[in-house]
Amino acid sequence: MITAKMGGARAISDQPRLISSFVGDLLLRSTQPLPQLFRYKPGCNRVSMQFSRSLSGLTNLLFNSRKLDDLPNSKRKSLKPGRVSPPRPVPKHIQRPPYAKSKMMPGIASGPEVHDEQGIERMRASGRLAAQVLQFAGTFVKPGIMTDEIDEAVHQMIIDNGAYPSPLGYGNFPKSVCTSVNECICHGIPDSRPLEDGDIINIDVTVYLNGYHGDTSATFFCGDVDDEARNLVQVTKECLDKAISICAPGVEFKKIGKRIHDYADKFRYGVVRQFVGHGVGRVFHADPVVLHFRNNDDGRMMLNQTFTIEPMLTVGSINPVMWNDNWTVVTEDGSLSAQFEHTILITSDGAEILTQC
């Protein structure tokens, strides 16, 4: 995921900025760790970017503060952090991405991920495994299950298949998957909080297999979910499907944002601007920045190119708040958020979804 420009409560201009949609994936050309990429004070939810990226014109990224107990007009309890268990070990024989040892933020790689025949086959393999892991993770979604248990299951399946869980150690991210519940927009850290009847949860899986990343996510229902949540999740999935349907060689990337934004508007849902899709393949995050809202960015799709599309929609405010863990991002007003993501390959006649079983 990447981030686009935003200025507090100000409207976003037609010149986007970014962060990545894997929380820390600040698709910035910088090798500095997350605390150096953001200006913040411990105990304060106000955060701003301190670097710019010429490609996106990112200036200041500002996360507004919100009280955790403040959930107006809702029967749901406000999401609160639980206990985070230690990172799970990965066998020494499994190939690791370069950032795994340093725990540093690698930044966004310059240039698109375009593959030869061998690279395409490896992308298919990593995408297929990511999809299978995500499908398996979804079977754990039920009331009473802790998100840390989902992380445990995901981690074990990934290493059992000889792959590395890409989020683990990325900018010091402590777990092997992202679990974002209810108002959490993205980058939720699995912890001891048990899922509750009526929750929705996005599970974001990325695997590193034979030197290639496969990245996907979906939002699942936990128990008896109300119509407000069901409709949001359905429309978010449809936004992703509609965006993928227009992809082909030579198509402008900005058409993705228009297609998603136009469809979301029909249901009066907000489209999160700060976190976006990205190139993926030999590196976790690469060009291009894929914006999910209307924009005038340049750039066209290329044959054999791989990237993610991962729209995040909200019932209410699109303004994000970052928790003190420097990863978890929630909606400012506590309203529900949903997300779906696929890694796709641009083919001669359209697009192939790599992250499906």
Whose CA is closest to 115, among 324, 317, 279? 279
For residue 297, what is the domain's CATH number? Answer: 3.90.230.10
Give this prediction's pTM: 0.84
User: Is residue 222 in a domain?
Assistant: yes
Question: Which has the minimum average pLDDT: 37-41, 165-169, 206-210?
Answer: 37-41
Which single residue is written with the structure tokens 């029967």? Answer: 75
Annotation-wise, does 310 bind a ligand?
A: yes
Annotation-wise, does 155 bind a ligand?
A: no
Rounded Cα gap, residues 121 and 269, in angstroms: 37
User: Is residue 195 in a domain?
Assistant: yes
User: Is residue 56 in a domain?
Assistant: no
Residue 336 has pLDDT above 90, yes or no: yes
pLDDT at 312: 98
Domains: count for the chain: 1
Residue 341 contacts residue 217 (beta carbons within 8 Å): yes
User: Is residue 89 in a domain?
Assistant: no
User: Is residue 26 in a domain?
Assistant: no
Buried b (16+ CB within 10 A) or exposed e, 264-281: beeeebbbbbbbbbbbbb
Whose CA is closest to 314, among 330, 297, 332, 337? 337
User: Is residue 349 in a domain?
Assistant: yes
Domain, as residue range, for 253: 108-353
The answer for residues whose C-beta is within 8 angstroms of residue 137's C-beta and 6 or more apart is 150, 153, 154, 177, 203, 205
pLDDT at 249: 98
Residue 24 has pLDDT above 70, yes or no: no
DSSP secondary structure code for residue 171 in this structure: G
Annotation-wise, does 285 bind a ligand?
A: yes
- Give the phi and the psi of residue 259 in degrees, each rounded to 5: -60, -45
Mean pLDDT of 191-218: 98
Residue 181 has pLDDT above 80, yes or no: yes
Residue 44 contacts residue 149 (beta carbons within 8 Å): no
Residue 287: helix, strand or coil by DSSP?
A: strand
User: Is residue 151 in a domain?
Assistant: yes
Annotation-wise, does 187 bind a ligand?
A: yes
pLDDT at 193: 97
Residue 58 has pLDDT above 60, yes or no: no
Annotation-wise, does 204 bind a ligand?
A: yes
User: Is residue 41 in a domain?
Assistant: no
